Amino acid sequence: MEMGHSGREAPFFFMKPADAVVSAQPDQVVTMPYPTLTNSLHHEVELVVAIGTGGSDIGVNDAERHVFGYAVGLDMTRRDLQNDLKKQGRPWCIAKGFDHSAPVGPITPAAQIAGIATAGISLQVNGQERQTGRVAQMIWNVAETISQISRAWTLQPGDLIFTGTPAGVGAVVRGDVLCACVTGLQSLRVRLE
């Protein structure tokens, strides 16, 4: 979900295949190959929710007990493909779901984090700030997001939910180094090759 849009329109979701996820170890710089089929790869920094206890039709008040932990992640997008597909009214799975399109930092157990609902979220590219915001700016908070998704799909332990991105989404090129941060979580560093 995108952050900062006006109103509370119904949320929408998309899925990424398992091979999209690239898990980073603490202090590791993840190498991500620049994907094929695009000349416009864009970054979107997001809070990632790791599900610990699955379920379906989860109520908002029960949602947080299904969370194992949190991480920072990048939702990488082949923006030129996405824009073309949107114009044609076609699904844009190929623009979002490709190998290495979802780098994720180390997961921190929820019990070890205080204040995730108001945490800062940011992204730097080559040391220059591109995105900055707060988790509290999401249109749908974490509990509401879990509840909504669980109405459409049965959540399983190990599922990862990317929650939304602040303003400042933009293109990156080969050689760029991205540093994604959420207050209280270990950062994620990705180098494009």
CB 82 within 8 A of CB 109: no
What percent of the chain lies above the pLDDT cut of 70?
96
123 Cβ contact partners less than 8 Å away, ≥ 6 residues apart = 43, 45, 74, 129, 130, 131, 132, 168, 178, 179, 180, 181
Q: Domain containing 157: what range?
A: 18-192
The answer as to whether 122 is a domain residue is yes
* Reported pTM: 0.93
Q: What is the pLDDT of residues 76-123, one digit of tens each?
A: 999 999 999 999 999 989 999 999 999 999 999 999 998 999 999 999
The answer as to whether 99 is a domain residue is yes
The answer as to whether 157 is a domain residue is yes
The answer as to whether 2 is a domain residue is no
Identify the band that residue 1 occupies on the pLDDT scale cut at 50, 70 and 90.
very low
The CATH number linked to 109 is 3.90.850.10
pLDDT at 56 over 90: yes
**When comparing pLDDT for 181 and 1, which is higher?**
181
The answer as to whether 3 is a domain residue is no
Q: Where are the alpha helices (DSSP H) in 120-178?
A: 142-152
Number of domains in the chain: 1
The answer as to whether 88 is a domain residue is yes
The answer as to whether 9 is a domain residue is no
The answer as to whether 153 is a domain residue is yes
